[in-house]
Amino acid sequence: MPADTTTHLDVDAMREAAGEASGLLRMLAHEDRLLLLCQLTEGELCVSDLEERLDIRQPSLSQQLGVLRRQQLVTTRREGRHIYYRIADARAQRVLATLYELFCNHTGDAS
């Protein structure tokens, strides 16, 4: 009988990766957080810019940005009175680009 040369996936590694992936997907499953992250794919923005663009009230905006910061999906820097946010996780950036291509880029086919 020939030797099995197929590669078997490491279930423990897959379980760990699945946990990370499901955590990211949980963060993206909230509409306001998804909108915030989509805006940040264009680059760094301050809270007032995000509030104006998304029409999300400041208390809710701050709450969702706090969740994203605690999950290390965004990072901040302060400049005077303004706090600027940017995406800190390259994997999240790639997932957001894919979501944009699938759902927001209307030049392609919907199939």
Per-residue pLDDT tens for 70-98? 999 999 999 999 999 999 999 999 999 99
The residue segments making up the domain with residue 46 are 18-103
Q: Are 19 and 13 in contact (CB under 8 A)?
A: no
CA distance 80 to 7: 54
pLDDT under 70 in the chain at which residues? 1-8, 107-111
For residue 2, what pLDDT is reported? 56
Residue 46: its pLDDT value, please?
96
Give how far Cα 95 sits from Cα of 77, 83, 87, Å: 24, 25, 12
- CATH of residue 33: 1.10.10.10
Residue 83 lies in a domain: yes
| Entry pTM | 0.82
- pLDDT score for 12: 87
User: Would residue 111 count as lying in a domain?
Assistant: no
